[in-house]
């Protein structure tokens, strides 16, 4: 059963994230590591720009899923990059969101917990649709679970495995415009 997020919970988690970032900046200032402070600030700016682009996509379910994943899932850290500069095409948000939720759940169960597991999702426009690159790096302990999930075919999504090893999984997912 999916947790329903109310505005207070969202703000609480967001405030916690911002406090962590501010403490990182303050700690590096206290250590007189100004170059590191500048790097952290640049990273925050890039993250905020990607969050803005993500929030502007016409996919409320998918966007919501990505924005809250790091708060709900301790087994991997999610990062995203949006390479769409203009208005994105409309796609089947519900189908994409459901597939991605299932993939996240499968990945959660297939990786070694409490390790440096990282998933980067890159979203880019493509002729008559959108392409999503899922790049995972970390420790995969249940390859069979992922193989079984990825073998299932979706009627709308086209999933291509680009690389699959014990420490890496790269997928290209195409979703046609509606």
Structure token pair of residue 144: 């069979």
Contacts of 96 (CB under 8 A, 6+ apart): 59, 61, 62, 132, 157, 175
* Residue that wins the pLDDT comparison between 76 and 87: 76
Q: What pLDDT, on the 0 to 100 scale, is given for residue 12? A: 83
Nearest by Cα to 159 from 128, 134, 123: 134
Listed range (5-14, 50-59, 82-91, 154-163) with the worst mean pLDDT: 5-14
Residues 6+ apart with CB under 8 A from 35: none
Per CATH, is 59-176 categorized as 3.40.50.300?
no
Q: Using CA atoms, how far apart are residues 6 and 172, in angstroms rounded to an integer?
A: 33
Q: At what angle do helices 143-151 and 93-110 cross, to 10 degrees?
A: 160
pLDDT band at 127 (very low <50, low <70, confident <90, very high): confident
Residue 1 reports pLDDT greater than 50? no
**Helix, coil or strand: residue 41:** helix
Q: Is the pTM for the entire model greater than 0.85? A: yes
Q: According to the model, what pLDDT value does residue 116 have?
A: 94
Task: Give the mean pLDDT of 13-32.
Answer: 92
pLDDT in tens, 58-86: 999 999 999 999 988 779 999 999 999 88
Q: Kindly report the average pLDDT of the chain as a whole number.
A: 92
Mean pLDDT of 48-63: 93
Q: What does the buried/exposed string (b/e) look like for 40-63 if buried means 16 or more CB atoms within 10 Å of the residue's CB?
A: beeeeeeeeebeebbeebebeebb
> What pLDDT sits at residue 13?
81
Q: Kindly state the average pLDDT of the residues 105-128.
A: 95
Residue 152 confidence (pLDDT) above 90: no
């Amino acid at each position: 059963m999916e947790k329903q997020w109310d505005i207070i919970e969202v703000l609480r988690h967001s405030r916690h994230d911002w406090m962590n970032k501010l403490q990182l900046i303050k700690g590096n200032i206290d250590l007189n590591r100004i170059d590191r402070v500048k790097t952290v600030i640049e990273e925050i700016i890039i993250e905020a720009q990607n969050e803005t682009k993500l929030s502007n996509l016409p996919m409320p379910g998918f966007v919501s899923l990505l924005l809250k994943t790091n708060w709900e899932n301790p087994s991997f850290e999610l990062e995203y990059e949006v390479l769409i500069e203009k208005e994105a095409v409309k796609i089947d948000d519900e189908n994409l969101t459901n597939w991605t939720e299932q993939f996240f759940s499968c990945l959660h169960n297939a990786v070694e917990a409490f390790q440096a597991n990282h998933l980067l999702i890159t979203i880019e426009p493509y002729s008559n649709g959108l392409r999503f690159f899922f790049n995972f790096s970390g420790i995969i302990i249940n390859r069979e679970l992922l193989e079984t999930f990825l073998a299932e075919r979706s009627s709308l999504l086209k999933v291509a495995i680009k690389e699959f090893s014990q420490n890496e999984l790269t997928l290209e997912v195409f979703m046609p415009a509606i």
